[in-house]
Structure 1
Amino acid sequence: MYPLISVLIPVYEVEEYLDRCVQSVLAQTYENFEIVMVDDGSKDRSAEIASRYAEEHENIHLIRSEHAGVSHARNVLLENAKGEYVFFLDSDDNMNPRTLEVLYNLLKEKNADIVQCEMKKMWKTQVLNTSSYIEVYKNDIVERFCCWQSGLLRCMLSAKLYKKTMFCNVHFPEGKTHEDEATMHRILENAHCVACTSKAFYQYYYNPNSITKRKFSDDRYDILDAMEDRLLLCLERNLDFAADMTRLHMLLLVIELYRRTVNEVGTGAEALIWLNKRSCTLIDGLLTTNYFNSKICTLFTVWKANPMQGELPNFKVISTDCWNKRGDIS
């Protein structure tokens, strides 16, 4: 008998997509699964649709909640999951019928704690990759992840099959967004082996009403709290290089948020004061290292004077350059 997998679906006002989502789970070739849904106070027909499935299928469970956000929903889902393994599926997405089977077999084959497949963007024409490859990480998982040197491994909670024990001492930050960024480093810290396949079994749908697609608001700043916790973990584990790269990542996010605040809120926004202070503090720390070339250091100096000036470089490009030459520096 194959072990139970809990497919966890947070639901909030997705009446257009929920049938497709649930049907994709019911079509799985892996037979021993349950579906747990939390309706986060939807005002459309989402709760009605979810309730119908729960009434028709013994292995589908619905929990109703007052609207408290997706992080709260994910915490409730984990608390109610009975499976040895868990898989997060967003309610406007769906997955290939072989997803759970392939990921479980890969997990057992590689003796992994977490396995991930790629995402297929549903609004683009893509062919499922039949000549796939697999990456396995056993050492320096958190350091590689924080420095974006982990290949296929992504930050998203979805498209991964986890041993449920990976969520020991992990709590999604309720009342905040960017719960993926806030927790993935903590989840990976619990893993001894992570395997990724390049096959795109998870089908991601562009929902213009999702949290990340909405008009700029204060919850955009939650990403910085997530990165602060990532930095804290690096410092706790004496991952000094990863800590510096996390500071760099934070700086680029702060500069981007500063510019978006100016452009979408206005030059009088109160957030600009603390964003500027945070950028200056990060820059002062980064300039004490010797990882960055003169062009990047000059850009840091420019930002101290005016965060609106200069290009916004790609974090992965800079981090990769630093990663490749850090042996020579040390």
Structure 2
Amino acid sequence: MNNPSISIIIPAYNVEQYIKKCLDSLLKQTFQNFEVIIVNDGSTDKTAVICNEYAAIHKNISVIHQQNAGVSAARKIGMQAMKGQYFISIDADDWMEPNMLEELFNTATSNDADLTFSDYDRIYNDHTEIINHQLSQVDPIYYLKAQLGGGMWGTYWNKLIKTQIYKTHAIAPIVGVSMWEDYIVTNLCALYAQKIAYCPKVLYHYNQTNQGSITKQQSVKNHEDILLVIKKLSTAIDKSIYKDILSKEIIDMKLFAKNYLIYSQYKDFKQWKQIFPEVNHYALNTQKRYEKKIIKSILDDKFLLTRILLFLQKYDEKIRRNLNKTLHKICLTK
């Protein structure tokens, strides 16, 4: 086919239960000038067979098979092959509204936007949660502030991005990274974008019922991924015109990553002091009851006291929750 308007990259690993619904939602799109590049990342189930069947029937679907190398490597291979004016990368266990590509493409072209994003929802077994991202102002600065400050997710799948931005600035997924592998790429694209546009419609359905997905797992490796992503993104911002404008958001992002070393099961207070030490004193600005004492104890190398304070914090919160529940019941009986 001639160069398509949109390239859709789908990394796929052991998703035989989900990928048909994903691909069918693409085939039902009201906008049809697109290519689909599926990268089968060494699946051991019937994913490869299903992908081959769809590619044999539909000319705009192609499949790349590779040995298992991880989601970031799969996306990178797909992005190297894409030919569209715009690209979007979706997850194989999710699905889209029939008008998703049309809405994103029309919004992007009418605004001459380098990056266009939409709302989406999270689908759970027992409920659906709608996520909207209305900003007070839609431009790269406000968008990046929301991203880095934690107000928005840096996902691929609700964003249509100009391929030229990606290629001109040599942006690429970090091979080996699983957590936040989308965050680094989409925010680097936003960093170099001249215009950003917003489509205020729920167009993508983010499946939360697949408990085997990477984002449902937590580990030391995930934290290492996040640290690497933040280091690379911080370095890029420091070299950009937004260095001073985004200074507070960079601090917040670094503190977020450090908190894992205090509040997860993988506690390492000495490492907390050593990672991004330039923001340690900002952690003392918290107004929360225990957190300031916890941070100060770490900075003073009083790690036994830190553990005691964490223990007290945990049970203080538990007591407060139970007390509130009891008071609520008493009020209801009166």
Name the TM tier (shorter chain).
0.7 to 0.9
Normalised by the length of structure 1, the TM-score is 0.79
User: Taking structure 1 as reference, are residues 170 and 277 closer, same or farther at Cα in structure 2, changes over 3 Å only?
Assistant: same
Q: How far apart, CA to CA, are the structure 2 residues paired with 1:63 and 1:3? A: 18
Q: Secondary structure at the match of 1:203?
A: strand
User: Taking structure 1 as reference, are residues 16 and 253 closer, same or farther at Cα in structure 2, changes over 3 Å only?
Assistant: same
1:232 equivalent in alignment to 2:231: no
Query: What is aligned with 1:74?
Result: 75
> CA RMSD of the aligned region, Å?
3.2
Alpha carbons 2:123, 2:129 under 8 Å: kept: no
Alpha carbons 2:144, 2:191 under 8 Å: kept: no
User: Taking structure 1 as reference, are residues 162 and 142 closer, same or farther at Cα in structure 2, changes over 3 Å only?
Assistant: same
Query: What is aligned with 1:319?
Result: none
Query: What is aligned with 2:145?
Result: 144
Query: Aligned runs of 1:159-238 on 2, under 5 Å?
Result: 159-168=158-167, 169-177=170-178, 178-206=180-208, 207-237=210-240
Tell me by how many angstroms 1:40 deviates: 0.4
Q: Secondary structure at the match of 1:176?
A: coil
Alpha carbons 1:141, 1:189 under 8 Å: kept: no
Q: How far apart, CA to CA, are the structure 2 residues paired with 1:68 and 1:236? A: 31
Tell me by how many angstroms 1:111 deviates: 1.8
Q: Secondary structure at the match of 1:90?
A: coil
Query: What is aligned with 1:326?
Result: none
Q: Secondary structure at the match of 2:36?
A: strand
1:283 equivalent in alignment to 2:280: yes
Aligned residues: 298
Q: How far apart, CA to CA, are the structure 2 residues paired with 1:79 and 1:28? A: 24
Normalised by the length of structure 2, the TM-score is 0.78
Q: How far apart, CA to CA, are the structure 2 residues paired with 1:163 and 1:243? A: 27
User: Taking structure 1 as reference, are residues 221 and 125 closer, same or farther at Cα in structure 2, changes over 3 Å only?
Assistant: same
Tell me by how many angstroms 1:176 deviates: 1.4
Deviation string for 1:107-149 (max 9, x for gaps)?
A: 12222111111121122545989x9978763352575245438
User: Taking structure 1 as reference, are residues 128 and 27 closer, same or farther at Cα in structure 2, changes over 3 Å only?
Assistant: farther
User: Taking structure 1 as reference, are residues 139 and 190 closer, same or farther at Cα in structure 2, changes over 3 Å only?
Assistant: closer
User: Taking structure 1 as reference, are residues 164 and 56 closer, same or farther at Cα in structure 2, changes over 3 Å only?
Assistant: same
User: Taking structure 1 as reference, are residues 135 and 109 closer, same or farther at Cα in structure 2, changes over 3 Å only?
Assistant: farther
Tell me by how many angstroms 1:216 deviates: 2.5
Query: What is aligned with 2:252?
Result: 248
Tell me by how many angstroms 1:279 deviates: 6.2
Does 208-217 or 242-251 show the bigger shift? Answer: 242-251
Tell me by how many angstroms 1:272 deviates: 5.6
Q: How far apart, CA to CA, are the structure 2 residues paired with 1:71 and 1:176? A: 6
Identity between Structure 1 and Structure 2 (%): 25
User: Taking structure 1 as reference, are residues 297 and 244 closer, same or farther at Cα in structure 2, changes over 3 Å only?
Assistant: farther
Report the residue type matching 2:181 in the other structure.
E
Tell me by how many angstroms 1:273 deviates: 4.1
Q: Secondary structure at the match of 1:140?
A: helix
User: Taking structure 1 as reference, are residues 242 and 205 closer, same or farther at Cα in structure 2, changes over 3 Å only?
Assistant: same
Deviation string for 1:67-104 (max 9, x for gaps)?
A: 11111111111111111111111000010000000111
Query: What is aligned with 1:315?
Result: none
